[in-house]
Amino acid sequence: MAILNILEFPDSRLRTIAKPVAVVDDKVRQLVDDMFETMYEAPGIGLAATQVNVHQRVVVMDLSEDRSEPRVFINPEFEPLTDEMGEYQEGCLSVPEFYENVERPVRVKIKALDRDGKPYDLIAEGLLAVCIQHECDHLNGKLFVDYLSTLKRDRIKKKLEKKHRQQA
Annotated binding residue 92 = yes
Q: Does residue number 18 form part of the binding site for Co ion (CB under 5 A)? A: no
Q: Which of 69, 125, 135, 161 is catalytic?
A: 135
The DSSP string of 8-42 is: -TT-GGGGPPPBPPS---HHHHHHHHHHHHHHHHT
Instruction: Mark residues 90-129: x for contact with Co ion by CB under 5 A, - for none.
Output: --x-------------------------------------
Q: Does residue number 123 form part of the binding site for ligand QAP (CB under 6 A)? A: no
Stretch that binds ligand QAP, among 69-77, 78-86, 90-98, 105-113 (CB under 6 A): 90-98
If contact means CB under 5 to 8 A according to the sort of partner, which of ligand QAP, Co ion, none does residue 85 touch? none
* Shorter beta-carbon distance to ligand QAP: residue 32 or 93: 93
Helix (H, G, I), strand (E, B) or coil at 103: strand
Buried b or exposed e, range 137-165, using 16+ CB within 10 angstroms: bbbebbbbbebbeeeebeebeeebeeeee
> DSSP code of 43?
T
List all residues 6 or more positions away from 38 whose beta carbon is below 8 Å from its beta carbon. Answer: 2, 3, 4, 6, 47, 52
Catalytic residue numbers read 135
Binding site for ligand QAP (CB under 6 A): 42, 44-46, 88, 90-93, 96-97, 130-131, 134
* Binding-site residues for Fe cation: 92, 134, 138
